[in-house]
Structure 1
Amino acid sequence: MNNFERPLDHSVMKPFFKNILYILLLLTSSISIAQQSELEISGLLLEEANSQPIPYATIALYKNDSKEILTGTTTDDNGKFNLNTSASDFYIEISFMGFKTKRITQFSVLNYKIDLGVIKLAGDNESLKEVVVRAEVSKTVFKLDKRVFNIGKDISSTGASALEVLNSVPSVTVNIEGEISLRGSSGVQILINGKPSVLADESSNSLGTLTADMIESIEVITNPSAKYEASGTAGILNIILKKEEKKGWNGSVSVNTGIPDNHSIGLSLNRRTEKFNLFTQIGAGYRSLPRDSEEINRNLSDDEVIYSEGTAYRDETFYNFTLGTDYHINDLNILTLSGNFAYEIEDQPSETNFRFFDSNDDLVSSWLRKETTEATNPKYQYEFNYKKQFKNNKEHTLQLSALGRFFGKDQSSEFSNTTLSGTDSNSSQQTKTNFQQADYTFKADYTNPLSETYTIETGAQYVINDVGNDYEVSDLIGTVYVVNENLTNNFEYDQKVLGLYFTGAYELEKWGIKAGLRMEITDLSTLLTNTNESSSRNFTDYFPSLHTSYKISDNVSLQAGYSRRIFRPRLWDLNPFFNIRNSFNIRIGNPNLQPEFTDSYELTSIYKIGKASFSSSIYHKYTTEVIERVSAFEDNVTTTSPENIGTNASVGFETNGKYSPTKWLTITGDINYNYFDRVGTFEAQSFDFSGNQWSSRLGTKVGLPADIDVELTGRYQSGYNTIQGEVSGYAFLDLGVRKKIFKGKAVVNLGIRDLFESRISERFVSQPTFESYSYSQRGRFITLGVSYGFGKGEAMTYSGGRRR
């Protein structure tokens, strides 16, 4: 029985939901009371000269005898505006570039409504000149544990998409295919207004429906504080949206094709009003992902060798639907509801040739192993989020959220061995897999700036991971398939993590410090039902963090940070299952695997030189209980499993930069070097060794005439030593070409990944009794897409998201 068939721990969950319900009732009652006393302000803004409507002008409410802004909005396409406020002592200011600002201090209130009627603005040429000169330029502000890139008019007025805005942020790179990397590393977590969102999910391109003028700022977090989960990540990008903007319909439709087969069609929509932000995406497609592989097992005791080589395919038909809304209850309260459903149909054919040679290098036998695999994968996600801002400070917030995810796989495979020469190797096998995974996350976060210099943050998070994997293998005996009990298993994985955190910050204009502590209580249990092998662990860990920053000048800043992180073994690391795709190279899990812990120290400098911006870091990481892949050899079969082996200390240097000498040329690059020292012993064998590895990336984007952009990105990953052998290095080049048509409303994209087919995975294991070699390659991928954007949306390419 899988974990899904067991009820959740009600003793833990019942008080949690009871408290949530109580909080929501209080919030609902307070909201209804607040709404009854709110004033509704409306009007129509026209040009004085010709009575034409003025769209997107700023309507701001200021507190009387003060410059403190209370709330605001913008006019719509027809010059109309409408906003609500609970304030009673205020004046109204209306402004737009090229017009004289108008202040309204006298107005009448009738039934909680203020109707300003028709308002006309007079042109102001002198003011226009002044505004152009002082136009706000995007710039980076350095906080204690993050960098904040504020979006200025130089970007917000361009109509660019959120992905293009991200590409303007120092240390962030977005290629033409939309893949986001931070300091050259992918796997970046994208947040919207400080929370996970379907809009930012990597399985969709919904970020394309957000435009630059909807974005207030982007926070770059490379070394997360105790506020965030302690599990490792390459970094966090938090997109802060302007809540008061009214933008109407935005969206795009796209059609794509590619070689190997990669065909899709997608529609993205975003409707933004005063109260609602509605977003949806619908997509479908078909794609194929081939992989060539080669493996060699050499027995040094008797010089027997087994060679295998072949090609495996993963063909997939997919469907995707996303729907969600942000509801602005009032200026201080926002609700978010969203959901995503996807369905995949997989077909995985493969053929592998095997050859067995004896010690005299004579061919003993050869055979062909074929695989036919079919699978269906339903998956869905739903999200609820409530955010409250307090009147005294927009940074004073309370946020509650609940997120649920489900992924399932119903898979059946058939393997057949056909003798080609020599010894009879005919055989057939069947496998069946029923995999289900449910994840639930409940969060509460509270931030309170006690003063201009002191800020506290506190919160809690409860995560449930509930997984079941029922795996059955059957052998053909005569004319009947018989279950092979030695290879069959039903593995259940149940993990609950409760996290509590507190941080305090003291920040001046040039210098500040922030310290925090996170406690995580982990309850993990696994069960292999067919053998009744169980493992249960409950442990409490503490994760301190410390950050400081110093601003030397507007162009030079220093940041220093420390954090403790954890890597928890995943299902596939713990499940002792046998993968029989290649019966001579088997990977199994280790149910006794322990998590690894890393203490991370970082010193970073950020500086600008003319039109170039750079970021350089020196870092040190010390990891205990390091998880390594260890290979064992018996009867010409290599079995690889993860083990905890000793410690790893590394010291590294990383630098990245962005240089735009002209409007048509941008050059980005980064280089990362680290030296490591491994210390460990496993089964009386010492694995002490040291080494180094480095990687680099160089990209250039060239703007050509006729609205054509060309992007070239080259990457290199050096080889490095492992505890039993080495991994080879590789270099590869990606090419992208984009052509805008219809004044940028339509875009044609051509992308070529791994232009020279040089990206490989090559691993050597060398031990006293055996040697093994494995090689795999994906090959070249060519994609062509056409997309059209409407409303204020940018044309974006829908690729159907990434596989799980």
Structure 2
Amino acid sequence: MNKLFYLCLFIFPLQILAQTSSIEGIIIDKTSNTPLEFTSVSIYNSVDSTLLNGAVADLNGKFIIKGIKKGSYYLKVQFLGYDSKIISAINLTGKNLDLGKIYLNPDARFLNEVKITGQQTQSFNKIDKQIYKADQFAAAKGGTAIDALKNLPSVAVNGAGEISVRGSTGFLVLINGKPVQGDAQTILSQLPANTLENIEFINAPSAKYDADGKGGILNITTKKGASDGVSMIANIQSGLLSTTDFGNKENQQRYGGDITFNYRKEEWDISASANYLRNDNAGFREGDVFTINNNLKTTFPSNGERSFNKYNYGGRFNIGFNPNKNDAFSLGFFAGYKFQDRLADIYYNNTKTNSSGQVVGRKQYFNSNLQNKQGDFVLGNIDYTHTFNNKSTLTFSTLYEYDKLYGSTKNRNIEGADTAQNTLSTYENPLNGLRVKLDYSVNVGAVKLEFGYQYRMDKQDGDFIYRESYFGGPFTTIPLFTGNVKSRNDIHSLYGQFSGKAKKLEYVGGLRYENAKRDLTVSNINNDFKLNYNNLFPSASILYDLEKGYKLKVGVSRRVQRNNNFELNPIQEREHSETLEQGDPNLLPEFVYLAETGIIKSFNKGSFFTTLYFQDIKNPIQRVNSVFADTVLNRIFTNAGKAQKYGLEFGTNLEPTKSWSLYLGANFYQYNIKGSILTNAVNVNNNGFVYSVNFNTNVNLSTNWSMQGNVNYLSSRPTVQGEDSRFLIPNLSLKKTFLDGRLTALLQWQNIDLGMNESNKQRITTSGADFFTTTNYIYETDIFMLNFSFNLNKLSRKLKLPGSEFGDKEF
């Protein structure tokens, strides 16, 4: 009994000392009288202002902080875009305290944007990149990532759908920070624009990035849930009847949909999405060509249908797991399929003359050309990051990619009632790729040090078969155009870099070393084409605050544009009646030195940036024509000496009035190329001035109605043997929101032309001593699309305010 008595005397004071209280309340937006979810609430000791604990408000704005001992405290309530609030003189005596409703006032700096535009800040400038919100480009809704990308100041898309960055088709694509090893244009055309969150143009890549891409790096980040719980966004679209008639055989079909699901709870973050898109396009082609061969001149003007049937579908998911504050796991997967048929039914009228100008032959024929391209795409990644007690991190990442590429080209030359020539080209060209990375970062004082190693491998094993039949006879395989091409690239990389801030200066510098090996074998050429090279890739960038809203940026780096298998494959492909395609297995990579400097300016109603840049290019890769036969040109890739590019780029976001916002981006550059092509047979000395302008404006007609117009314009530009004409795309969209923003209806008017014959067409002209060719590609105009988007979760003010443009990366 005595022992029990003394034990009770010992435990009772401990219970008194250990007695704790809880504090709870509800955070309310004072202007709308609605709860503010995810508001940060912190409790501090009144004596020494020590932070004791904190909480985040739930979906109903409610918070609770438990386990607080007796004493005197104060609360600090914070939410981005609102004035912070201090609640002082809180004395806890062991009882729970309910503070009831706590009202926050919107920050005056963001009030107009929230009440009137309801949009996030649309662009950001960082030390090494420009970041754009994808949602600002309404014309891209229902389309693909390419439709959103083409609005950036640095980006232009031509009539063939080819993407260029600062005038270069060579650039590296990342999806949620993960490099894409297959064809960038193919992957981007499968990614729905509705799933995009941000588009980042990394114009001054640091050493930790791959050295690939002379034009820079485009990183696409996709949407994910912004809050704990379940969220879902679904979109459907359909095209109205075609307004353009080229006499095409089939009516165009345009429809699709996508859905994105996210679940976040405690240590789990799960995302999944699926999409389908059918987007046919009608078209017409007008051409005029002549060749001179064996003292005979052959002219063969042509015209006819050139239309596309296209669809793709895919799905992806990502699982993020954070079991504790030190470990993070991520598993991602993507699978997709793409299909494209291009039909070209062309009528030719051939005339052959001798050196005296006398007609020695005439022939008319019809060529039906059906080119089919298909692909299955599978990508998967596993990432693990460990954070040590000193806040340093170690990250292991692995990425595997498999692309099964296959297709065919069917050519029928019909003279009168007879099929004079029937050809069939087929190919299978699968790609396997693997990346393994190990990265370590640690802070030493105010400087962050990063080191890493990467192994990268990609290989292809392509079979190409070409067969011919004449006047209904049997098909015969043609060895000249048939063979197997195997290629493999192995790249080992090491990098080190440092970064930090010192008062008004932000800086990053580093060095990357790469050992790259390329091995190419061709079955019908008794030779292995090998290339082994070691290179250093330095980089450095600074960002200096000049005050009064101005910042200065300076960056330098060295990049490489490696050769893809299409450029290296020496087996000629009969693309259509008048053209052969061929690569060069001896091509060298392009090496590029980049330098740029620019000014960034932020002000109350927008922002502005301008950048001067310079590129010095060694071994520029060009695609050139030569005469193969009287009515056939051979297109081949070749290196062409040296090239230089001087450019000026600028972009601005403005809000001239409370209901009107606009975005304008432009890129101007002078391109010069000197050297020789076709085994030094032809000297090249060409230059020209090129510019592109991307304009976007939005008008809020009322609370739930808005209208947006945008224009993409690319000027004419010189090529190594000629010129590509200008390319114009205007668009207009009308948006209506319902159900407090949960449902959105969008009517799009794409490729506006109104019969003026100016939009969505491009002429390509090339010439040499023995040939001339010009082709006008005319694509469908005045397309109307209707989109519906549904957001399961109620849109909150947090989604409308400027926030972190980054976040956990998912794949």
TM-score, normalising length from structure 1?
0.78
> Which residue of 1 is the match for residue 728 of structure 2?
731
Q: Write the distance in 2 (CA, Å) between the matches of 1:563 and 1:444.
A: 22
Structure 1 contact 353–368 (Cα < 8 Å) conserved: yes
Q: Which of the numbers 545, 564, 580 marks the counterpart of 2:539?
A: 545
**CA 1:176 to 1:762, structure 2 compared with 1: closer, same or farther past 3 Å?**
closer
Q: Write the distance in 2 (CA, Å) between the matches of 1:84 and 1:177.
A: 50
The yes-or-no answer on 1:226 pairing with 2:201 is: no
Q: Which of the numbers 56, 61, 85 marks the counterpart of 1:74?
A: 56
> Which residue of 1 is the match for residue 134 of structure 2?
163
The yes-or-no answer on 1:562 pairing with 2:556 is: yes
Structure 2 contact 149–155 (Cα < 8 Å) conserved: no
Query: In the TM superposition, what is the alpha-carbon distance from 1:435 to its structure 2 partner?
Result: 2.0
> Which residue of 2 is the match for residue 384 of structure 1?
382
Aligned pairs for 1:366-765 (under 5 A) are 366-372=364-370, 376-393=374-391, 396-420=392-416, 426-452=420-446, 454-476=447-469, 479-636=473-630, 637-682=632-677, 683-705=680-702, 707-756=704-753, 758-765=759-766
The yes-or-no answer on 1:269 pairing with 2:239 is: no
**CA 1:721 to 1:267, structure 2 compared with 1: closer, same or farther past 3 Å?**
closer
**CA 1:450 to 1:342, structure 2 compared with 1: closer, same or farther past 3 Å?**
same
> Which residue of 2 is the match for residue 295 of structure 1?
287
Query: In the TM superposition, what is the alpha-carbon distance from 1:261 to its structure 2 partner?
Result: 1.4
> Which residue of 2 is the match for residue 26 of structure 1?
none
**CA 1:772 to 1:195, structure 2 compared with 1: closer, same or farther past 3 Å?**
closer
> Which residue of 1 is the match for residue 771 of structure 2?
770
Report the secondary structure of 1:225's partner residue. Answer: coil
Q: Write the distance in 2 (CA, Å) between the matches of 1:242 and 1:448.
A: 28
Structure 1 contact 373–414 (Cα < 8 Å) conserved: yes
Query: In the TM superposition, what is the alpha-carbon distance from 1:266 to its structure 2 partner?
Result: 2.2
Report the secondary structure of 2:266's partner residue. Answer: coil
Q: Write the distance in 2 (CA, Å) between the matches of 1:678 and 1:246.
A: 52
Structure 2 contact 74–87 (Cα < 8 Å) conserved: no
Report the secondary structure of 1:145's partner residue. Answer: coil
**CA 1:63 to 1:728, structure 2 compared with 1: closer, same or farther past 3 Å?**
farther
Query: In the TM superposition, what is the alpha-carbon distance from 1:419 to its structure 2 partner?
Result: 0.6
Q: Write the distance in 2 (CA, Å) between the matches of 1:670 and 1:47.
A: 44
Structure 1 contact 461–499 (Cα < 8 Å) conserved: yes
Query: In the TM superposition, what is the alpha-carbon distance from 1:618 to its structure 2 partner?
Result: 1.4
Report the secondary structure of 1:743's partner residue. Answer: helix
Q: For each residue in 1:214-259, what CA deviation from the matched residue of structure 2 results, as whole angstroms up to 9, or x when unmatched? A: x9xx97632112221111144445869999x743111122221125
Q: Which of the numbers 251, 256, 259 marks the counterpart of 2:232?
A: 251
Q: Write the distance in 1 (CA, Å) between the matches of 2:223 and 2:408.
A: 45
Report the secondary structure of 1:433's partner residue. Answer: strand
> Which residue of 2 is the match for residue 782 of structure 1?
784
TM-score, normalising length from structure 2?
0.77
**CA 1:443 to 1:103, structure 2 compared with 1: closer, same or farther past 3 Å?**
farther
**CA 1:141 to 1:721, structure 2 compared with 1: closer, same or farther past 3 Å?**
closer
Q: For each residue in 1:674-726, what CA deviation from the matched residue of structure 2 results, as whole angstroms up to 9, or x when unmatched? A: 22332212324321243322222332222212522222222332223333222
Aligned pairs for 1:278-289 (under 5 A) are 278-289=270-281
**CA 1:738 to 1:48, structure 2 compared with 1: closer, same or farther past 3 Å?**
closer
Query: In the TM superposition, what is the alpha-carbon distance from 1:333 to its structure 2 partner?
Result: 2.4
> Which residue of 1 is the match for residue 319 of structure 2?
325
Query: In the TM superposition, what is the alpha-carbon distance from 1:190 to its structure 2 partner?
Result: 7.7
Query: In the TM superposition, what is the alpha-carbon distance from 1:486 to its structure 2 partner?
Result: 1.4
**CA 1:592 to 1:430, structure 2 compared with 1: closer, same or farther past 3 Å?**
same
**CA 1:521 to 1:182, structure 2 compared with 1: closer, same or farther past 3 Å?**
farther
Structure 2 contact 428–462 (Cα < 8 Å) conserved: yes
CA RMSD of aligned residues (A): 4.2
Structure 2 unaligned runs (5+)? 1-19, 29-33, 68-72, 114-119, 139-143, 157-162, 166-171, 243-251, 800-811
Amino acid at match of 2:135: E
**CA 1:57 to 1:629, structure 2 compared with 1: closer, same or farther past 3 Å?**
closer
Structure 1 unaligned runs (5+)? 1-40, 86-90, 108-115, 150-161, 168-173, 796-804
Amino acid at match of 1:661: P
**CA 1:250 to 1:475, structure 2 compared with 1: closer, same or farther past 3 Å?**
same
> Which residue of 2 is the match for residue 145 of structure 1?
128
Structure 1 contact 551–557 (Cα < 8 Å) conserved: yes
Structure 2 contact 190–312 (Cα < 8 Å) conserved: no
Report the secondary structure of 1:226's partner residue. Answer: coil
Amino acid at match of 1:378: D
Q: For each residue in 1:83-136, what CA deviation from the matched residue of structure 2 results, as whole angstroms up to 9, or x when unmatched? A: 999xxxxx99674679765899999xxxxxxxx9976234456xx45x645879
Report the secondary structure of 1:183's partner residue. Answer: coil
Q: For each residue in 1:388-440, what CA deviation from the matched residue of structure 2 results, as whole angstroms up to 9, or x when unmatched? A: 344444xx43322111222213434433221139xx77121222222211222
Report the secondary structure of 1:573's partner residue. Answer: helix
Structure 1 contact 440–465 (Cα < 8 Å) conserved: yes
Q: Write the distance in 1 (CA, Å) between the matches of 2:408 and 2:536.
A: 43
Query: In the TM superposition, what is the alpha-carbon distance from 1:67 to its structure 2 partner?
Result: 7.3
Q: For each residue in 1:155-175, what CA deviation from the matched residue of structure 2 results, as whole angstroms up to 9, or x when unmatched? A: xxxxxxx633899xxxxxx99
Report the secondary structure of 2:573's partner residue. Answer: coil
Report the secondary structure of 1:486's partner residue. Answer: helix
Structure 2 contact 24–100 (Cα < 8 Å) conserved: no
Structure 2 contact 148–193 (Cα < 8 Å) conserved: no
Q: For each residue in 1:39-83, what CA deviation from the matched residue of structure 2 results, as whole angstroms up to 9, or x when unmatched? A: xx998944599xx99853425588999879799652433677799
Amino acid at match of 2:759: S
Q: For each residue in 1:358-412, what CA deviation from the matched residue of structure 2 results, as whole angstroms up to 9, or x when unmatched? A: 224687111112234556532211121223344444xx43322111222213434
Query: In the TM superposition, what is the alpha-carbon distance from 1:340 to its structure 2 partner?
Result: 1.6
**CA 1:284 to 1:133, structure 2 compared with 1: closer, same or farther past 3 Å?**
closer
**CA 1:753 to 1:53, structure 2 compared with 1: closer, same or farther past 3 Å?**
closer
Query: In the TM superposition, what is the alpha-carbon distance from 1:612 to its structure 2 partner?
Result: 3.8
Amino acid at match of 1:331: K
Amino acid at match of 1:576: P
**CA 1:84 to 1:569, structure 2 compared with 1: closer, same or farther past 3 Å?**
farther
Structure 1 contact 100–123 (Cα < 8 Å) conserved: no
**CA 1:180 to 1:758, structure 2 compared with 1: closer, same or farther past 3 Å?**
closer
**CA 1:785 to 1:616, structure 2 compared with 1: closer, same or farther past 3 Å?**
same
The yes-or-no answer on 1:183 pairing with 2:153 is: yes
Structure 1 contact 551–558 (Cα < 8 Å) conserved: yes
Q: Write the distance in 2 (CA, Å) between the matches of 1:652 and 1:106.
A: 65
Aligned length: 707
Report the secondary structure of 2:528's partner residue. Answer: strand
Q: Write the distance in 2 (CA, Å) between the matches of 1:70 and 1:597.
A: 55
